[in-house]
Amino acid sequence: MRKNEHVSQPNGYKIIAVDDEEGIVDSLSIFLKRSGYSFTGVTDPIEAIERVKQEHFDLMILDFIMEPIHGDKVVEEIRKFNKELYILLLTGHKDLAPPLETIRKLDIQGYCEKSDKFDQLLLLIESGIKSIAQMNEIKRINIELANTYDKLEKAYLDSIETLRYTVEAKDPYTRGHSDRVSEYSVLIGEALSLSDDDIKTLRVGGLFHDIGKIGIPDAILLKESKLTDDEYSEIKNHPSIGAHILCNAEVFKDIIPIVKHHHERYDGRGYPSRLKGEDIPYLARITAVADAFDAMTSKRTYRNSLPLDVVKEEIEKNLGTQFDPEIGKVFLDILNNQYPKIEEIQKKYVNN
């Protein structure tokens, strides 16, 4: 090496160059290694696709006219499994470059003509590396934010779980109730082919649907005789109390409609808002069916659990009045054809 030649310190970025002319690859190797980049040169475009599958590269320099496949086909294959690789396309002649529409479609970040001098290419590479550095920083920040959000979410969940267990500890006859409602709601949601996000909302919403009972006096909640009208009015406040408890936590915004409206009726005679039909949030209508089923099949101080045939008749009778008819029919189908799943849930969360 001549004394006036300068080799930059390694900068940690990995570049792969693909060109079926070995001389171009060798020249790029010398030039880019001097500039501080970790360099891999490949003359076979098919091999290049496999290398990108197996290794991480930050940037690719890609010849357009190659055998056995052109550069645009290489990019097309790579984009099937890697959307982030920064790609610069080299063309031997400007008029042989792919159309702009193709470059945009394949998310090729830039291209330039081949030259004996690499000044223009180096500028494009440096610009690309800056973009990559920014994307990596954004990704790092997003990961940190996601981790922070997960920790906050867990803290909120733990806090509300404590309240939930406090509610169930107050009334031994409802112990396991929220867990079962959550599981039944998920069964219905899956039968309705709902999205994963909706299934998650149903699961969490079911767990916390009765959280508002923390604000109901024990004298009413644990009363064994018939409630007075005033006491029943007090009980009917628990959905609104629950929604109020959760309203300041962003993590619970999706389940608040379930918490607040799981006692609405399809005919509009429910509470607290007397919503009717499809005005009732869809996931709340699902939880309403699950909640009613568990209430009927759980033992209470004033009665034993109802027989399954009686419960099914009750659901059938109230389709279109208490229950959304479509959701009610789906749950009846589960009871008729997948009852072992119901029994499994009941065994898992035994009503003590």
Q: In what order do the strands lie in the sheet with 14-18?
A: 38-42, 14-18, 59-63, 86-91, 110-113
Q: Which residues are catalytic?
A: 213
Mean pLDDT of 75-84: 92
pLDDT interval class at 103 (50, 70, 90)? confident
Asked if 8 and 33 touch (Cβ cutoff 8 Å), the reply is no
Q: What is the mean pLDDT of the chain?
A: 86
| Alpha carbons 40 and 61: distance in angstroms, whole number | 10
Q: Quick count: other Cβ atoms within 10 Å of Cβ 11?
A: 13
Q: Which residues pair with 18 in a beta bridge?
A: 42, 62
Give the number of residues written for the chain: 352
pLDDT tens column, 200-216: 999 999 998 998 888 88
Give the CA count within 13 Å in the CB-facing half-sphere of 141. Answer: 6
pLDDT interval class at 308 (50, 70, 90)? very high
Question: What pLDDT does residue 4 have?
Answer: 42
Exposed, middle or buried by CB within 10 Å (0-12, 13-18, 19+), for 254? middle
CB-based contacts of 311: which residues, under 8 Å, 6+ apart?
293, 296, 297, 335
Cis peptide before 272 (omega within 30 of 0): yes
Q: Quick count: other Cβ atoms within 10 Å of Cβ 328?
A: 24
pLDDT tens column, 247-301: 877 778 899 999 999 999 999 999 999 999 999 999 999 999 999 999 999 877 6
Confidence check: pLDDT of 169 > 90: no
| Alpha carbons 34 and 10: distance in angstroms, whole number | 9
pLDDT interval class at 187 (50, 70, 90)? very high
Alpha-carbon radius of gyration of the chain: 32
- What are the distances in angstroms from CA 87 to CA 18, 69, 113? 11, 17, 14
Higher pLDDT, 105 or 213: 213
Where do the domains of the chain lie, and which CATH numbers do they carry? Answer: 14-129 (3.40.50.2300), 155-348 (1.10.3210.10)
User: N- to C-terminal Cα distance for the chain?
Assistant: 83
pLDDT tens column, 18-58: 998 899 899 999 989 988 899 999 999 999 999 999 999 99
Closest residue by Cα to residue 191 from 64, 66, 327: 327
Higher pLDDT, 223 or 284: 284
Confidence check: pLDDT of 3 > 60: no
Phi, psi values for residue 124, rounded to 5°: -65, -40
Asked if 85 and 55 touch (Cβ cutoff 8 Å), the reply is no
Question: What pLDDT does residue 1 have?
Answer: 38
